[in-house]
Amino acid sequence: MSDLTLAAVSAKKASHLMAVLGSDCKNNALAAISKALLDSSEMIFKANNEDLKKAEEEDLETPLLKRLRFDSKKLKEVTDGIESLITLDDPVGKKLLHTTLDDGLDLYRVTCPIGVIGVIFESRPDALVQIASLCLKSGNSVFLKGGREAENTNRVLADIIYKAGVAAGLPEGWLHLITTREDVNAMLALDKYVDLIIPRGSNAFVQYIMKNTLIPVMGHADGVCHTYIASDCDHKKALKVVLDAKTQYVSVCNATETILVDRDLKDTLLPELISTLRDNNVEVFGDDEVSGLFNCEKAEQWHHEYLDYKVSVKLVDGISEAVDHINTYGSGHTDAIITEDKEKAEAFMDSVDSGSVLWNCSTRFADGFRYGFGAEVGISTSKLHARGPVGLEGLVSYKYKLYGNGDIVGDYASGNKKFKHIRRNI
């Protein structure tokens, strides 16, 4: 067996022990990890400085350097995050259903961990801490693979977290750091041991992972998010929300990439919208009509994620064309409507097939922290298992527990007994 396979065997074995840990044990381990991180801050910052120095030598772009930096402010953020995770309910062992099948034959649906989760993430050391603590709280073993640029920081963080966890009672093998692309590829073949892969990164990267593994993948394809401004919108509200949705942080998946404007607003709101966008350094790409009216370039394709101060603008004939456009060219991530008509808003939110559908607010709200999930392990554009921002609840599965007293199916097949199927409150 390769070292990685041995690691996977130990992670699987650990996962069966993680599954039966009590909430207190998991919370104590989280507290111990938080303390260990604070106690080892010098060592962490030293490793991070090595990574930063190397990254600067390699001329890494400023936003990437900012993500790579792990200083006392970031350390406080992640340890605060761990403290708040401790206060959240244990996602494991929740009863979701109770049905009395017959006298003395009771069925429960109860949440349980998924098992072994492999997470591949960008060069952000704070993400390592978040992901490890989310997996711990949800009772899963975890394989972590961070970006190459953060290699030293990740190694130190993973070592501190793993050892503090084991000292606090977690089973050996509960966390593994992998560091090479070869190990990622090898992990994709370990469908016998790894239950879920969560890749964070570009659309091309997520597609690559999906094409190369039998393990279920939870990831987001891309974020082609829309804001549709309906004819009966409040103009001031529309401009404010759209500007935030486009410019509050342009390089993220929940930023608006296409603005759909009702044709009735062509001579009123539209000119104001275009000038507001331009005043805020946003380059506008229009459909034929918009580009003719406002002397801007044509949008070449509608399924396009700029991640930049750029936006597509298209005129549509009412809600029906807006919904069709989004369901055709969107990515099922996050889409908003601006309208004063509640019925129209509800129709839009029911018909648009996306993880998050919003009324009169910015697409930038679609995020695990803002949604109140504590933290998020990613945003899923899949419709299976977990959709939208994924917090602790997306990291658990469930099992059915059936309690009997010598019951056999033969009695029901013969007609001797009949099922009662009484649904109980939980």
Instruction: Write out the binding residues for a second copy, residues 300-339 only, by CB under 8 A.
Output: 323, 327
Q: How far apart are CA 221 and CA 44, in angstroms?
A: 33
Q: Which of 72, 73, 175, 169 shows the shortest CA–CA distance to 133? A: 175
Helix axes 41-57, 151-167, angle to 10 degrees: 160
Closest CA to 189 of 12, 5, 385: 5
421 binds a second copy (CB under 8 A): yes
Stretch that binds a second copy, among 260-268, 293-301, 305-313, 385-393 (CB under 8 A): 385-393
CB-wise, 172 or 403, nearer to a second copy? 403
Sketch the per residue contact string, 120 through 159, with a second copy: x for CB under 8 A, - otherwise: ----------------------------------------
Measured between its terminal Cα atoms, the distance across the chain in Å is 46
Q: Can you tell me which of 44, 168, 198, 241 binds a second copy, judged by CB under 8 A? A: 241
- Tell me which residues in 193-212 interact with a second copy (CB under 8 A): 195-196, 207, 210-211
DSSP string, 125-187: HHHHHHHHHHHHHTT-EEEEE--GGGHHHHHHHHHHHHHHHHHTTPPTTSEEE---HHHHHHH
x/- mask, a second copy, residues 7-36, rule CB under 8 A, reads --------xx--xx----------------
> Which of 34, 152, 153, 356 forms a contact with a second copy (CB under 8 A)?
356
Q: Does 408 bind a second copy (CB under 8 A)?
A: yes
Instruction: Work out whether 423 is an interface residue with a second copy (CB under 8 A).
Output: yes
- How near is the Cβ of 356 to a second copy at its closest, in Å? 4
Residue selected from 79, 153, 227, 362 as contacting a second copy according to rule CB under 8 A: 362
Token pair 């792990």 is found at 70
From the CB of 241, what's the least distance to a second copy, in Å? 6
Q: Is 402 in the site for a second copy (CB under 8 A)?
A: yes
Give the total of residues touching a second copy (CB under 8 A).
78
What's 174-223 look like in SS3? CEEECCCHHHHHHHHCCCCCCCEEEECCCHHHHHHHHHCCCCCECCCCCC
